[in-house]
Amino acid sequence: MTAKNYPFIRIACPRKYEEMVIDLLIAKGFTHFAYVQQQTYNVLAGTGEMSELECYMEDAVLLRQVVPAIKPLLARFNVRGDYTIQQKERKDWSEDFARNYPDIDFYEGIRVIPPWRRERTAKEQLIIDPGQAFGTGRHFTTRSCAFLITQSQLLFDDFLFDLGCGSAILSIFICKLGASSVVAVDRDRETMRNSRRNTENNKAHQQILLLKADVTALPFLPERLHKTVMNMEYDVITACLTAWSSSMNIGDWLILGGILLRERAMMKQLLRAKGFGVLTELTDGEWVSFRVQKK
């Protein structure tokens, strides 16, 4: 039987935007992605590093129709592309993806690696399965939240919430820093399956309680939200702040990620109205993250 050839285009994408670009392409009908080269890269090292990807569809006719529409969308993320449609025989997507998937130097010697490449004796690693859950360690929102967590003086007996946990990468990172327990909340069932695999692979499943729920509708939260990470969309963060910020105590802190630069002024206005002071603000491109404290 003749092996099937798959049509593809090749792009070079800034690594800090890689997650978002792949999500955009999946929404447009792309089904498989392959790294052209595998490299370890440092997400804190700057904005110039690129991932070279082959992006595949199963239908060449559809790909020809989609390419003109995605060019301006990808240009917003500084993607460079060879939009000439090529074809290649593909036999084992998962094997190719695994072989070329890059490790990530996430924070001061802590690497993010996929589970098939873990080193059993290495302590300074986060084992994250790059499934559909947001939070592989590439995007600015994830790494800026990680940096802000390190600025927050965690104690061994600290109890934290990670709302909109995605892959649970930040919950696992918090445990690596010494916190005793984290409640990680997300509303998506498949995301929580991925989170469970990640917490088990990192031997953090006894410290991290995974909870599938809508973060805006948890009645027990206000009296316990002393130290909280929220890496979510602006609308969800504002709904949470509106619902329970008045119940938080002076000195309680929040780390907020997932906010677009155009939403910055509105978020700061809401934070002031809810009695929070901004301790740290980080920006990169079109994104902004905050570390704030109840006054």
Find the CATH number of the domain harbouring 78.
3.30.70.120
Residue 150 and residue 262 in one domain = yes
pLDDT of residue 182: 93
Predicted local distance difference test score (pLDDT) of residue 280: 95
- Return the DSSP state at 1: -
Q: Is residue 123 part of a domain?
A: no
Alpha carbons 167 and 134: distance in angstroms, whole number: 6
> Same domain for 210 and 146?
yes
CA distance 13 to 75: 10
264 is written with which tokens? Answer: 């910055």
Is beta strand 110-113 parallel, antiparallel or unpaired with respect to 5-14?
Answer: unpaired
Give the count of beta carbons closer than 10 Å to the beta carbon of residue 9. 22
How far is the C-alpha of 196 from the C-alpha of 265, rounded, in Å? 36
Domain end among 51, 71, 100: 100
Tell me the CATH number at 263.
Answer: 3.40.50.150
Place of tokens 């008045």: 246
Q: Are residues 145 and 224 in the same domain?
A: yes
Q: Are 183 and 276 within one domain?
A: yes
Spatial neighbors of 42 by CB under 8 A, at least 6 apart, are 49, 104, 105
- Looking at 48, 83, 100, which one is the last position of a domain? 100
Same domain (yes/no): 149, 241? yes
Same-domain status, 77 and 153: no
Instruction: Write out the H or E segment, with its range, that includes residue 191.
Output: helix 189-201
- Torsion angle of alpha carbons 117, 120, 122, 123, nearest 10°? 110
| Residue ranges of the chain whose pLDDT lies below 50 | 1, 39-47
Q: Tell which residue, 104, 174, 173, has the closest CA to residue 137.
A: 104
| pTM check: above 0.95 | no
Of 168, 175, 229, the closest CA to residue 193 belongs to: 168
Asked if residue 154 and residue 87 are part of one domain, the reply reads no
Residue 75: what pLDDT?
A: 87
What per-residue confidence (pLDDT) applies to 41? Answer: 46
Strand partners, 51: 13
Q: Within a domain: residue 127?
A: no
Instruction: Looking at the structure, tell me whether residues 159 and 283 fall in a common domain.
Output: yes
Nearest partner of 146 among 114, 180, 104, 187, judged by Cα: 104
Structural domain span for residue 32: 5-100
What letter does residue 101 receive in the DSSP assignment?
P
**Residue 31: inside a domain:** yes
Phi, psi for 188 (deg, rounded to 5): -95, 130
Of 261, 260, 266, residue with least CA distance to 241: 266
User: Of the candidates 3, 5, 2, which has an alpha carbon nearest to the alpha carbon of residue 60?
Assistant: 5
166 occurs within a structural domain: yes
- What is the tally of structural domains in the chain? 2
134 lies in some domain: no
Asked whether residue 60 falls in the same domain as residue 150, the answer is no
Distances (CA, A) of 247 to 219, 220, 221, 240: 11, 11, 9, 12
Q: Quick check: is 131 in a domain?
A: no
Q: Do residue 287 and residue 151 come from a single domain? A: yes
C-alpha–C-alpha distance, residues 283 and 281, integer Å = 7
The token pair at 51 is 């991932």
Tokens of 203: 């031997």
Q: Do both 149 and 88 map to the same domain?
A: no
Q: How many Cβ atoms from other residues are within 10 Å of residue 281's Cβ?
A: 15
Residue 118 counted as domain residue? no
Q: Is 32 contained in some domain?
A: yes
Whether 152 and 217 map to the same domain: the answer is: yes
Helix (H, G, I), strand (E, B) or coil at 186: strand
Domain end call among 100, 128, 159: 100
15 neighbors 41 (Cβ within 8 angstroms) = yes
